Structures are given as C-alpha cells and as structure tokens.
Amino acid sequence: MTRPHAPSRAANIVLGTAIFAYIVAVAHRSSFGVASLEAIDRFQADATTVSLFAVVQIGVYAAAQLPVGIALDRFGPRRVITTGAVLMTIGQIGMALASHTEIAIAMRVLVGLGDATTFVGAVRLIPAWFPARRVPILTQITGIVGQLGQVITAFPFLALLHSRGWTVAFMALAGLGVGAAVATCAWVRDSPTSSPLPATTQPQGPQVPSPESLRDVLTHPGTWLGFWTHLVTSFSLSAFTLMWGYPFLVSGQGLAPSAASWLLTWSVIVAIGAGPLIGEFTARHPLRRSWGVLAIAGAVAAGWLMVLLPSGPRPMWVLITFITLISLGGPGSVIGFDFARSFTPPSRLGSATGIVNVGGFVGSMATVLAVGVVLDRVRTGATYTLDDFRQAFVVVLIVWAIGMGGVLLSRRATRSMMATRGVQIPPLAEVWARRGARRDAQKAADTNADPPQRRQPRG
C-alpha cells in the first residue's frame, strides 16, 4: 500500500510539536548535570552518591527503550510521547520539593522513564509523515534541534538556580513539561491516516508486535550495528553533558561557571552545524555510512586525548576543540537510527529504534558511575582536582574501545548478510580507482570531441 502524501503544513506541525517535546525532554534530562555541585550541598552527598542520580536516570532510560519501542508499535507516538511528558513533569516537581536523597533519586526514575519515550517517538513519526528521501536529514534535524534543551539548562535554568534557588528552578522546568504534554496531545497525530475510528478499522494504525518479529529485530546484525554506532559516538558526550562536564570545567579546568555554560552551549552549536552535513552524507552514501561512524568515533577519541594527556589546565582554544570533537558524536549517533530504518520493516521500527537508542545510554550510564567511583577513590582534598578528573576519565577510553570493537564486528556481520542477498559493497580503493578512470575517460572524450583550432595566418 502506498503511503498517502501528507499535507506539508500538517506534517510540519506534527514534527515541530514533537521536536518541541524533545527539546523539553533534553532540558529535563540535562538539568541535573548543571545542578550537580548544588546537589552535593543539598543532599550532603559524595561523588559516587551524586553520580547515582544520573546513573539511575540513564539506566531507566536505557531499560525502558525496548518496552517503549513495543508501546510505540502498539499505541503510536502521540500517546507515548504525551505520557512521557507527564512523567517528566511529575519527576521535576518531585525534584523541586525533595530534601532527601532517596526521594530525589526516585524522581529521576520518572524523568528517565518519560525521557525514554520522546526521541524514539519523534523518530517514529518522520517516516509516517515524510518521503523516504527526507528521513535521514529530518532525523538529524530532530536530534540536533532537540539539543537546544541543553541551552535551556545552561542559561535560564542555571540562572534561576543561582538566583532563586533549587525549588523555583526545577518548578520552572516542570512548567515546560506541562506545555509539552498539552501541545503533543493537541497537535501530534501518528500518521496522515489517523482518525477517530477504532484502531481495528484504521488502515495504517499501530500494530501489535509478535514475539517472532521482536526476535527478528534482536537477531538482525543491522540492529546491533545501529546499537554500537549509537554507543561509540554518543556515550562520552552524554556522560559529559548529563553529569561530569560542568564539574570538570569548573573544578578541574578552573573556568568560571559562565564560561562553562558557554562551552556546553558550544556543544549544541556544533551539533546544529554538523547534523545536516552528516545527514546529507548518510542520504547520499548509504553504503558508506559505517565509514562515517568510524571517522566520527576517531574524532571523539582524539578530543578526549587532547585533555587527558596533558597534566595542566588547557587553554580555551583546546577546550573549544575538545568540545567540538566530542560533540560530533551527537549527530553522528543518529546514523544508528538510519541503520535501523534500513534493515527493519515499518511494523518493527519502534522496537528496532528503541534497541539502537539503548546503546549510547548504556555506555554513558557505565561511564558516569565509573567516573564517580574513581573520583572518590583518588580524591585527596576537599574538592576534585584536574588530576582526579584525568584519572577518572580514563574510563571513557575503555568504553570507547569496547564500542569500537562492537561496531567493527557488527559491521562485518551486516556486510556478510548483505552479500548473501546479492548486495556487494566494493572496497573504497576500488571505488576511487573507478572514479579516477571515469574522470580520465571523460577528459579524453572532451579533448577528442573539441580539438584545438589552428589559427589561420592573416593576409
């Protein structure tokens, strides 16, 4: 059945509303990162305990991805995203009022559970409302524009936190959550064919995934290529922005809070600039997407080495370069969702997308907790030093190596599967040789077709 062409205005309203909900979700997600120093004082906690806030939030997010994917296939994005916005709102109200660690951690559970619904729900809407050729770029746009939520936490939220206090700042985020829930319920529709008819009579309503279809998703190497792609590109950026980036820049590098906020905002600017370029590359070179993943992962590792190898604080240009390189992993991770779309039929796309989205957050969860544990073990003074952070961030390189191994193995398995189906991917050297031969042949043809004219003597 051919998907009906959606009116462009309706499609843009649906996607724009979903992106707004995702911006709010990212603000909820990243709010604790810039408040972590205040949380240490409010809850009288050490680094390991404070890291549990982010670990629990990320862990719930990751664990919920497969159930959320199944819920998307069954109930559709509108209900799932709305429910997530409500859960995050309740969680932020609880954070605003919490004075005990246990209650605050329970509220981060709600934030993580609600956050788990938003991006995968928005991504599920795109192929339902837009033609396939626009899906990679629109997926990138959704991911990168959503990161504006970090700007909300880095500036207005942080300003409220410092000027009006903990309760007012988190209540303000809860108010944004109410707006996201209302907007999603009012303006998002699952597909152009959505209607008030019962689900059993709708021609393209959500479907209930069978155990067999879920098994197919879990055993497909393309799903795991997406999983490891998401992990190796985005885990360190998530750990940095959700928990340890702000303390590292302020306590470790000695920056003023305002300078640290600007650097976190620079991460968003980089993602906005790089996202469309990566999306265009993905759309134009679908057989070379994994090379893009390897290049981005290499850039991320290079960025970390820039700040881990030297023993002293880094100049601002080095920190900007570091943030630039690791921030490429944000839009780079979206390539993982394109792998899921390529290898998964629409009826299973929610489940596959959920599995892919687990990758980066499993990696970041492990990194956040391990960094907190190492910081508590190596700290010798009342505050954390740059050398403490340098030792703790070695964890990043270990997780990166695991992720890179996963990409290479799943890439090989995916290409082997494609070869059995008649899809051969020629080596890059062979492709470049062919292009060079074509250029030479074209030049020769142009020369033969238009020989130089001999000038006739005058007179």
Domain assignments of the chain as residue spans, ordered by start: 8-190+210-426
From CA 342, how far away is CA 135, in angstroms rounded?
A: 11
How many CB atoms are closer than 10 A to CB 394? 13
**Looking at the domain that runs over 8-190+210-426, which CATH code has it been given?**
1.20.1250.20
Average pLDDT, the chain: 86
| Placement of tokens 């879990």 in the chain | 218
Contacts (Cβ under 8 Å, ≥6 apart) of 32: 39, 53, 54, 57, 95, 108, 242, 243
Q: Are the CB atoms for 155 and 34 separated by under 8 Å?
A: no
CA distances from 58 to 29, 115, 148, 239 (A): 9, 9, 19, 10
Q: What is the pLDDT at residue 192?
A: 87
At 32-61, the pLDDT tens digits run 988 988 898 899 888 888 888 988 998 898
From CA 268, how far away is CA 243, in angstroms rounded?
A: 16
Q: What is the pLDDT at residue 200?
A: 35
From CA 183, how far away is CA 191, in angstroms rounded?
A: 17
> What is the distance between the terminal CA atoms of the chain, rounded to a whole angstrom?
75
| Placement of tokens 């690791």 in the chain | 326
Out of 227-236, 239-248, 426-435, give the one with best mean pLDDT.
Answer: 227-236
Angle at 427 between CA 415 and CA 132, to 5 degrees: 55
CA distances from 202 to 26, 192, 213, 378, 380 (A): 33, 11, 21, 60, 64
* Amino acid at the residue 38: E
At 111-158, the pLDDT tens digits run 999 999 999 899 899 989 998 888 888 988 898 899 899 899 988 999
Contacts (Cβ under 8 Å, ≥6 apart) of 316: 259
Q: For residue 31, give the nearest of 329, 180, 246 by alpha carbon.
A: 246
| Placement of tokens 């792998």 in the chain | 339
* Amino acid at the residue 115: D
Question: 175 in helix, strand or coil?
Answer: helix
CA distances from 7 to 44, 123, 203 (A): 54, 19, 18
* % of residues, the chain, pLDDT over 90: 51
Which letter does DSSP use for residue 45 in this model? -
What six digits make up the tokens of 295?
């290049």
| Placement of tokens 């605003």 in the chain | 96
Q: What is the pLDDT at residue 1?
A: 41
At 249-283, the pLDDT tens digits run 999 999 998 899 899 889 989 988 998 888 888 87
At 199-214, the pLDDT tens digits run 333 334 455 455 556 7
Q: Are the CB atoms for 284 and 307 separated by under 8 Å?
A: no
From CA 122, how far away is CA 143, in angstroms rounded?
A: 9
Q: What is the pLDDT at residue 442?
A: 74
Q: Are the CB atoms for 230 and 222 separated by under 8 Å?
A: no
From CA 150, how far away is CA 83, in angstroms rounded?
A: 22
pLDDT of 169 over the 50 cut: yes
Q: What is the pLDDT at residue 416?
A: 87
Q: What is the pLDDT at residue 424?
A: 67
pLDDT of 19 over the 90 cut: yes
Q: For residue 353, give the nearest of 371, 364, 343, 341 by alpha carbon.
A: 341
What six digits make up the tokens of 36?
């972590």
Q: For residue 372, give the nearest of 355, 349, 388, 352 by alpha carbon.
A: 388
Q: Is the dihedral of CA 82, 84, 85, 86 positive or negative?
A: positive
From CA 110, how far away is CA 221, in angstroms rounded?
A: 32
What number of residues does the chain have? 459
- The 3-state secondary structure of 111-137 reads HHHHHHHHHHHHHHHHHHHCCHHHHHH
At 289-341, the pLDDT tens digits run 889 999 999 999 999 999 999 989 999 999 999 999 999 999 999 899 888 88
From CA 64, how far away is CA 70, in angstroms rounded?
A: 10
Q: What are the counts of helices (DSSP H) followed by strands (DSSP E) for the chain?
A: 21, 0
From CA 8, how far away is CA 125, in angstroms rounded?
A: 14
